[in-house]
Amino acid sequence: MALENYMFPCISKTLFGFDCLGCGFQRALILVLRGQFLEAFFMYAAIYPLLILSAYIIITRFYKFKNYEKGINWMSILSITTIILSYTIKHL
């Protein structure tokens, strides 16, 4: 059973014909799960900051670090910046 059969379609691409800021995330996540790390980066460059942010949020739900909110804020800014930069570069 292939994971690609269960991916959500992009509403933006379906309705308007152009990629959204999240296009490629699902495919990149599948590539990471398969161990194709470089291909995942080229598919969606923000995959790694988003995975690190997700792991950090999950960890801080169980173990509260000193100033953990600042870490979440900085990783969120890094993720958003990576998403916007990669989207801009992809559509130049």
pLDDT at 1 over 70: no
The answer for 17, left when phi > 0, alpha when psi is -120 to 50, beta otherwise, is left
pLDDT at 66 over 90: no
Delimit the domains of the chain by residue range.
19-90
- For residues 25-48, give the mean pLDDT: 95
- The span from the CA of 55 to the CA of 59, in Å, is 6
CB-hemisphere CA count at 13 Å for 10?
A: 14
Instruction: Report pLDDT digits (tens) over 2-29.
Output: 777 888 888 888 898 888 899 899 999 9
pTM attached to this predicted model: 0.86
Side chain identity, residue 19: D
* Chain position carrying tokens 């495919």: 27
